[in-house]
Amino acid sequence: MIRAALVAALVAAPAIAEGTLEGRLVTFTVETFDDPDAPFLKARGRTVTVGAGVEFGLEPEGLSGGIDVVPVTVEIGPSRIELSYPRGWGFFYVARFNGYVLRFETECALFEKVAIDPAGTTMAGTEVWAETGTLYINVSGLAYGPQAKLALDLEVADCPLS
């Protein structure tokens, strides 16, 4: 009797869903600094809800101390982020951090694992790390252009949507 009730409870329990970035609110910024309290560049952040298609298509914002935003396209999937550079070519400014910050609205540690997908990435030397709901992508000194691609595979925790 107890065994039958336990089996019935397990069958009736909802399946634990894997975490996803779909439907999450995310703010994307470009930052360049040697000291985070005195950035050379902190671009205007943009906030969207992750869904189908490209989430961000950044363009230059005007020079700030000789530094500007490199045109970049960012597509966020349920557990993957892909960056590409549709126009122009060159090298990213060299600083302790020069790259992208994606802040997802959450109170929990959203990322259990972050890995660069070598098959979908041409930008060797990219540094990536996560803190709570924030993902940092450092491309300082790397080359960019129409052939440059960066693909990140993410293991997303099952955090509640904010």
- Strand 97-104 with 134-138, pairing: antiparallel
Residue 3 belongs to a domain: no
- 152 DSSP β-pair partners: 81, 116
Residue 12 belongs to a domain: no
Residue 10 belongs to a domain: no
Residue 8 belongs to a domain: no
At residue 18, the pLDDT reads 66
Residue 150 belongs to a domain: yes
Residue 69 belongs to a domain: yes
**Cβ pair 111, 130 in contact under 8 A:** yes
At residue 162, the pLDDT reads 61
Torsion sign across C-alpha atoms 25, 102, 128, 70: positive
In whole angstroms, give the CA distance from residue 104 to residue 135.
Answer: 8
Domain that holds residue 51: 19-156
Reported confidence tier of residue 107, pLDDT bands at 50, 70, 90: confident
Picking from 115, 116, 110, 137, the residue whose alpha carbon sits closest to that of residue 28 is: 137
Number of domains in the chain: 1
In whole angstroms, give the CA distance from residue 123 to residue 116.
Answer: 10
Q: For the ranges 11-15, 30-34, 78-82, 130-134, which has the lowest average pLDDT?
A: 11-15
Q: How far is CA 130 from CA 97, 145, 146, in A?
A: 14, 25, 27
Residue 2 belongs to a domain: no
Residue 57 belongs to a domain: yes
Checking if the pLDDT of 82 tops 70, the result is: yes
Segment 48-66 shows an average pLDDT of 84
Segment 121-149 shows an average pLDDT of 94
